């Protein structure tokens, strides 16, 4: 898994005493954010979030005067970012597959790698127009469900998560996107209380081995129970695979996001549980194993 929001922790002065000119504020904020990959862009996005304006409108009016209240809010956000907190949590929303999604620290930040799962699922659904019952296991922010339901208007999705705070975020995203009638959000362990079978089962479950989490910046801010996959990273994936024969319809498809280091172990596990199924791997843009595909 690639984490694009890594930031070196550096000493950063507070920014309460900034000028009230938007253009000057952006210059100073950029200096404060020297530890990020794109400090100018991030400063613009932070300013836009406080002003509730798109980035283009911010840049079109750099002479705008900022109020003391706005300056205080901006100071807090810049210092939080300089301390390593991911930008999407500061902005409280993030883009995934062309959709603007609410995100909070209760959910993982949607990442580009997961768009591979969505692309594969959409391609399969379009090739099988009669297969319209799906499950999204570990729904989190609702990114996968939202993308699939948006692009397949007659798709019905049972989306599950054990985290009630995460389900609240997903519910808000479905409400904002007008998808509440087609995406059912349920609090449960995996698919334990769902009514199947499902033509498509998609899951982005925790898959990082526990011992690796201590070295990852992402673990400082994103929910540990959405990252920690146990000793080998396959704890929940193995449990889902073991239960999948009950829920996956004949000739149905299962798509599971995995860690790059599980390119051999995850398929081997799937072949053990589905000895007669078609099992293969899809690679991400970096050429790394990223998606386990099982056709029952």
Q: What percent of the chain has pLDDT over 70?
A: 94
Q: What is the CATH number of domain 22-88?
A: 1.10.8.10
Is 23:30 a contact under the CB 8 Å cutoff?
Answer: no
> What radius of gyration do the chain's Cα atoms show?
21
- Total residues belonging to the chain: 296
Tokens representing residue 197 in the block: 């079978």
The pTM score is 0.91
The pLDDT tens digits for 43-85 are: 999 999 999 999 999 999 999 999 999 999 999 999 999 999 9
Q: How far is CA 273 from CA 82, 99, 162, in A?
A: 46, 35, 24
User: Model confidence at 19, in pLDDT bands (50, 70, 90)?
Assistant: low
| Angle (CA) 291 166 37, round 5° | 65
Q: State residue 11's pLDDT score.
A: 44
Residue 179 reports pLDDT greater than 50: yes
Domain ranges for the chain: 22-88, 93-295
Residue 294 reports pLDDT greater than 70: yes
The pLDDT tens digits for 213-254 are: 988 988 999 999 999 999 999 999 999 999 999 999 999 999
Tell me the β-bridge partners of 254: 201, 294
User: Model confidence at 195, in pLDDT bands (50, 70, 90)?
Assistant: confident
Q: What is the CATH number of domain 93-295?
A: 3.40.50.150
Is 55:49 a contact under the CB 8 Å cutoff?
Answer: no
The pLDDT tens digits for 85-142 are: 999 999 999 999 999 999 999 999 999 999 999 999 999 999 999 999 999 999 999 9
- What is the residue-averaged pLDDT of the chain? 93
């Amino acid at each position: 898994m690639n984490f694009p929001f890594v930031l070196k922790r550096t000493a950063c002065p507070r920014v309460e005493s900034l000028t009230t000119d938007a253009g000057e504020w952006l210059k100073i904020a950029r200096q404060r954010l020297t530890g990020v990959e794109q400090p100018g862009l991030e400063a613009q996005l932070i300013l836009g979030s406080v002003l509730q304006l798109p980035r283009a409108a911010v840049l079109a009016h750099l002479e705008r005067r900022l109020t003391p209240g706005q300056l205080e809010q901006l100071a807090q956000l810049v210092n939080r970012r300089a301390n390593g907190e991911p930008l999407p949590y500061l902005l409280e929303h993030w883009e995934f597959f062309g959709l603007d999604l609410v995100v909070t620290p209760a959910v993982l930040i949607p990442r580009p790698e997961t768009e591979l799962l969505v692309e594969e699922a959409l391609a399969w659904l379009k090739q099988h127009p009669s297969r319209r019952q799906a499950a999204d296991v570990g729904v989190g922010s609702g990114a996968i469900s939202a993308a699939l339901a948006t692009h397949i208007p007659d798709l019905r999705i049972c989306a599950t998560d054990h985290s009630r705070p995460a389900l609240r975020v997903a519910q808000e995203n479905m409400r904002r996107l007008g998808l509440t009638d087609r995406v059912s959000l349920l609090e449960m362990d995996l698919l334990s209380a769902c009514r199947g079978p499902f033509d498509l089962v998609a899951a982005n479950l925790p898959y990082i081995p526990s011992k690796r989490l201590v070295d990852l910046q992402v673990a400082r801010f994103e929910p540990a129970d959405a990252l920690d996959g146990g000793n080998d990273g396959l704890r929940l994936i193995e449990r889902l695979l073991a239960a999948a024969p009950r829920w996956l319809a004949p000739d149905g498809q299962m798509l599971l996001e995995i860690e790059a280091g599980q390119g051999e172990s995850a398929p081997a596990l799937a072949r053990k549980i589905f000895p007669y199924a078609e099992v293969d791997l899809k690679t991400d843009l970096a050429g790394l194993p990223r998606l386990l595909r099982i056709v029952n």
